[in-house]
Structure 1
């Protein structure tokens, strides 16, 4: 009995204590809205871009672009390239230009509040070419799964060692799970409801395939100063599990190789340590990463996050099919499983209360698939539907192949 009373008192004590706890409202600590700069200028002849934004609080997810700034790049040859804001916070050069060797370039920014920023003068590093891209299937040592591994080999024009940064853009072909060459068009969404079945236009709707594109997210760095010669051999660019749908039919990767200087290399090394790899220039950034851009208005208090990168670039693209890395076109998990596409309702055009069950489904993620699976097609329910991801892969990518695509 004494033990029972002891436990009763303990429970009452916990109840009283919990009733005295007040809800704590989390408040974001004050922060400085520092200028964030993303500027990569290369020896490509094109319109270059500079992206400007402000740091955001830790509890915010929306990017804060820096609008209405004056942006230019000058060099010690007396040339100036002006940039115009083409999207919020994105500034594009008015003309095509390419960075030339042995000339120093400086980034100049004036924000809408009148503060000015300049970069240190930066020159073009030596050029380097991508010799080839290797594709192999290897077993991952950590979880023992097979992966498609893409590696880069390159040569440079010098022998003194260089710093390299890599990025890539991958494009892949997927097949719609339950494709139909026809689509249902809504002619009237009010009584009397009217619909029309029409042929899909191959030039607009495609023929059942889609082409997705993804950009690299991680920072890929290497150097050759510690090597006997300035040559990249077998640097891993991309690893893809062999059961991933992006290598299920046909795949292409465009690899971009940037030759950078040591300061740029050090900046990306620190950024790779501290930042979120999902989008390194749109998240809250730590303020202690050195930058080559500084405020001329208030250099001690007004910090800049980002870097003015001047680099030489080389690119290489390859394609490969599924049967070049695996025996058949099976053995991968499609973007949507056929098991998730078995439901095929054929709703009434007009319901008992004057509504249209067919219209409701069409407006809520269903599309036409085929006539109903019955010997006799009922006139009041002539269309069988499927959920949109099963019959339309455009959430993965465009239904028309990009201009560079070859089969």
Structure 2
């Protein structure tokens, strides 16, 4: 979202010279300060979050957060859900709730300076579940072998139409040259072999997707998503070194929400940024109560969501091992001292003792210490 806000915030007037190789200075010539709202509630029973920031210029690096606001969501059956500021600019509902079919939801925001904003009445979209998430060995357009992750979905009622996908991938890392001992500099300037003080053989890393993948079935005879590519992972990615899991989230969106996100995605692309024909200001479903001419960025979305998680091992899909680049080296003492001081190597083998102990065979730290690539805390959901 920061990337999207960044490209919108320059507001956008870039002067492109006639020569494609001549340097030009990209700077903001006009800037319009606007409230940016990230607000999605779903049919999941949970604490929901709403984020408020403000647009920022081309020369700036981070958006300004909007603090001290009062936020509520009201329903057509007279329920009110209040939000409090959990962290700077991020507001969390004070109670758990979920969006219910047949009700209208309205977002209200009052900023610290007294400005008020309100959304259009919005209803929960159709509820549909993911049918299948699966992995296949594929070769991409550049001839790179890897794993394609796909999703299938089907709505027999033909009422879903507009789909969005986010995901969270988690993978297991096993350091290929882990040993129970570590090599450290001692107080006398030599080396000591000591037991490792923490788990460094098996770790896990979790990475969330950025943005939302969009697709629709408007022009299809059936409301069916078939073999939609969620992610391609090249075979040399550490994420598929041993065991991998992906949690896919499917949003059923309104047509208005889908179109807003689609245009926003196009607008944030580098091609759109540098094109001579720039899109206008995106139309939000959130409006200023005080000033009808004030522009607001963001969209209040009430979407159904379904989730599905899969696990697989590398060998379940690929027939080649992960290509660890781990060269065992026997550096001279002076070089080893520097490497250990910088914590850039880990012990593989201690040879018969010399004057200072050793000599030692070592590898780069990432090959013997998994915490260089992830966390040594196993996720609660993980299944081996």
TM-score range, shorter chain: 0.7 to 0.9
Secondary structure, counterpart of 1:394 in structure 2: helix
Residue 49 of structure 1 deviates from its aligned partner by 0.5
- The one-character-per-residue Cα deviations of 1:90-132 (angstroms, maximum 9, x if unpaired) are 1111111101111111111122222111111110011001111
Distance between the aligned counterparts of 2:87 and 2:341, measured in 1? Answer: 32
Distance 1:184 1:343, change over 3 A: closer
Unmatched runs of 5 consecutive residues or more in structure 1: 1-23, 278-284, 349-356
The alignment status of 1:175 with 2:174, answered yes or no, reads yes
Distance between the aligned counterparts of 1:230 and 1:403, measured in 2? Answer: 35
Find the counterpart in structure 2 of residue 53 from structure 1: 53
- The one-character-per-residue Cα deviations of 1:247-300 (angstroms, maximum 9, x if unpaired) are 2211111110000110001011101101159xxxxxxx9861221112112230
The alignment status of 1:342 with 2:342, answered yes or no, reads no
Which residue, out of 247, 259, 268, partners 1:254? 247
The alignment status of 1:404 with 2:381, answered yes or no, reads yes
CA contact (8 A) 1:183 1:367 kept: no
Secondary structure, counterpart of 1:264 in structure 2: helix
- With normalisation by structure 2, the TM-score equals 0.81
The alignment status of 1:96 with 2:96, answered yes or no, reads yes
CA contact (8 A) 1:287 1:303 kept: no
Find the counterpart in structure 2 of residue 244 from structure 1: 237
Q: Structure 1 stretch 27-36 or stretch 48-57: which is displaced more?
A: 27-36
Residue 176 of structure 1 deviates from its aligned partner by 2.1
Find the counterpart in structure 2 of residue 369 from structure 1: 347
CA contact (8 A) 1:130 1:316 kept: yes
Q: Structure 1 stretch 39-48 or stretch 157-166: which is displaced more?
A: 157-166
- With normalisation by structure 1, the TM-score equals 0.77
Find the counterpart in structure 2 of residue 353 from structure 1: none
- The one-character-per-residue Cα deviations of 1:376-399 (angstroms, maximum 9, x if unpaired) are 243478887655434323242212
Unmatched runs of 5 consecutive residues or more in structure 2: 1-23, 271-277
- The one-character-per-residue Cα deviations of 1:330-378 (angstroms, maximum 9, x if unpaired) are 2x444xx214x63656559xxxxxxxx95x75553435525654x2243
Distance between the aligned counterparts of 2:318 and 2:164, measured in 1? Answer: 30
The alignment status of 1:327 with 2:319, answered yes or no, reads yes
The alignment status of 1:288 with 2:281, answered yes or no, reads yes
Find the counterpart in structure 2 of residue 264 from structure 1: 257
Find the counterpart in structure 2 of residue 65 from structure 1: 65
Distance between the aligned counterparts of 1:25 and 1:267, measured in 2? Answer: 30
CA contact (8 A) 1:160 1:225 kept: no
